[in-house]
Chains A and B, each alone.
Chain A
């Protein structure tokens, strides 16, 4: 299967881990070393308690919080349709990542659908993507 063309994210000291942890097959999320809350998008300081954050591996499991099937070919060569989604990670309430849902018919996606992470490599970036996974609870 061909990999779609994408605009890659800039890598900066606060966010590079999120885009590169896929090299180890892990999804990592910034977590407060004091109160243990996760924060995404990553921030160097915990917005809840002011503590320092550090990346930690998470299970990579989650559910569809909301999604959209994009039908508009915004640019020549963009393969449609594709699913853009907010995925609620299993670790914490309202801990979301934005992503594409792949490995299924776009029409089969629904809110609440169980997912697990996978990675799409693009040079120094491993884009976290999600696919259906009915195996988790």
Chain B
């Protein structure tokens, strides 16, 4: 194997704030809770952090990203060499990729990456705050100009187009898709920091109302307030750590699709396919080696499409793979979204998936621990796509 950047980098710590819907804490306080937990988790001190980044940085007025890297730097009293944030590129995982490059290039030793959301609080103030547009707003620009005039006001409308096309092409059913939401609740019931912990059945799922066909209420993730921080370090520092760090075995990235206004393909797959190809081209390991998987579930259909993009399932076979929930359950072939995912643990926006991967690989998932989990795939995104293959060191 070539000396890829990610092979020089490991995850040395991870932290997450308490989840809230809404939280009584400020978004900055939640961010500090997560960041300090991650630093402490690694056995480091704030003075040793020489890089800081986030996705996507402070944008907009709502709760989508209320806290930026610079204010976090000030509040934590950090003096990092490098500070960054990226609204564009590979979305959620983009900040992780930037951190990997900063470390592999020798610029930094320890980069703290965080993601903070306060969408539950924002929706308390103004229910429409999470919409992409709407009548009465100033004119829609850029990618949004093609959807908002048609009252496609939620990303759910866009991903519903993928779901409908996938259903039609492969004969997938609501009962199959529903297994993802039911699995999320089963897992969340075992996660003390999940927002929705009451189990649901497939009948509950099928009885739930449509948001945008074929997507139902339980196919859409849940707005929360919360923050997650992941600490990445150079592998040379591993010997100083109090615990064996998690190795980044491979990374994969791509971009495209309706979510960024690129109208290509037949909407039955995601350009995430290229991220999956890149991921597996950088390791000798194979999908069959996975012990556990954390697959993005902002909308349940994204999980199906990512399972195929990651080559865990063949094209058109992901719906049958998840059907009934046995294969993706805790004792199944590939336990999936063991925190409850964004559908049930809450929309930590990708970083909940990375955090849960660390939790599983460090063996501290309590009742939901996958015994002996050594290798976990993490996939994030619906417009910019990022995947990580994480390995217990």
Residues of A at the B interface (CB closer than 8 Å) are 4-12, 15, 40-41, 65-72, 74-75, 77-78, 82, 84-86, 94, 96-100, 111, 125, 127
| Cβ-defined contact, A9 with B140, below 8 A | yes
User: With a CB–CB cut-off of 8 A, which chain A residues contact B149?
Assistant: 6-9, 125, 127
| Cβ-defined contact, B261 with A7, below 8 A | no
Bitwise interface map of B from 156 to 169 toward A, beta carbon under 8 Å scored 1, else 0: 11001111110010
Task: Output the least CB separation between A76 and chain B (Å).
Answer: 9
| Cβ-defined contact, A70 with B212, below 8 A | yes
| Cβ-defined contact, A68 with B215, below 8 A | yes
| Cβ-defined contact, A72 with B154, below 8 A | yes
Q: Which listed residue (B134, B211, B263, B266) contacts A7, Cβ 8 A?
A: B134
B145, closest chain A residue (CB): A9
User: With a CB–CB cut-off of 8 A, which chain A residues contact B140?
Assistant: 7-10
User: With a CB–CB cut-off of 8 A, which chain A residues contact B320?
Assistant: none
Number of A-B contacts (CB under 8 A): 129
Considering the complex, which residues of chain B in the window 153-205 have a beta carbon less than 8 Å from any beta carbon of chain A?
153-154, 156-157, 160-165, 168
Can you show 10 pairs from A to B with CB atoms below 8 A apart?
Answer: A67-B161, A68-B157, A68-B212, A68-B213, A71-B213, A72-B154, A74-B151, A75-B131, A75-B134, A86-B267
Q: A75-B135, A86-B267 are in contact. Are A111 and B212 (CB under 8 A)?
A: no
Cα distance, A94 to B263, chains bound together (Å) = 8
| Cβ-defined contact, A86 with B258, below 8 A | yes
Q: A7-B134, A10-B139, A84-B150 are in contact. Are A72 and B128 (CB under 8 A)?
A: no
| Cβ-defined contact, A74 with B154, below 8 A | yes
Nearest first, the 9 closest Cβ-Cβ pairs linking A and B are A68-B160, A5-B135, A10-B139, A66-B165, A9-B145, A96-B263, A66-B161, A69-B213, A71-B210
Q: A5-B135, A7-B136, A9-B145 are in contact. Are A75 and B153 (CB under 8 A)?
A: yes
Cα distance, A117 to B219, chains bound together (Å) = 32
A95, closest chain B residue (CB): B263
Cα distance, A65 to B263, chains bound together (Å) = 11
User: With a CB–CB cut-off of 8 A, which chain A residues contact B141?
Assistant: 9-10, 12
Q: Which listed residue (A74, A85, A94) contacts B153, Cβ 8 A?
A: A74
User: With a CB–CB cut-off of 8 A, which chain B residues contact A68?
Assistant: 157, 160-161, 163-164, 212-215
User: With a CB–CB cut-off of 8 A, which chain B residues contact A111?
Assistant: 164-165, 168
Interface check B24, CB cutoff 8 A: no
Q: Which listed residue (B128, B209, B258) contacts A71, Cβ 8 A?
A: B209
Task: Output the least CB separation between A6 and chain B (Å).
Answer: 5
Q: A66-B161, A98-B152 are in contact. Are A71 and B264 (CB under 8 A)?
A: no
Q: A75-B134, A84-B157, A94-B265 are in contact. Are A67 and B164 (CB under 8 A)?
A: yes
Cα distance, A65 to B154, chains bound together (Å) = 20
User: With a CB–CB cut-off of 8 A, which chain B residues contact A69?
Assistant: 210, 212-213
Q: Which listed residue (B133, B134, B263) contacts A40, Cβ 8 A?
A: B263
User: With a CB–CB cut-off of 8 A, which chain B residues contact A127?
Assistant: 149-150
Task: Output the least CB separation between A72 and chain B (Å).
Answer: 5
Cα distance, A11 to B138, chains bound together (Å) = 12
| Cβ-defined contact, A65 with B165, below 8 A | yes
Cα distance, A133 to B212, chains bound together (Å) = 24
Q: A65-B267, A66-B164 are in contact. Are A6 and B135 (CB under 8 A)?
A: yes
Considering the complex, which residues of chain B in the window 93-127 have a beta carbon less than 8 Å from any beta carbon of chain A?
none
A79, closest chain B residue (CB): B151
Cα distance, A8 to B133, chains bound together (Å) = 10
User: With a CB–CB cut-off of 8 A, which chain B residues contact A74?
Assistant: 128, 131, 134, 151, 153-154
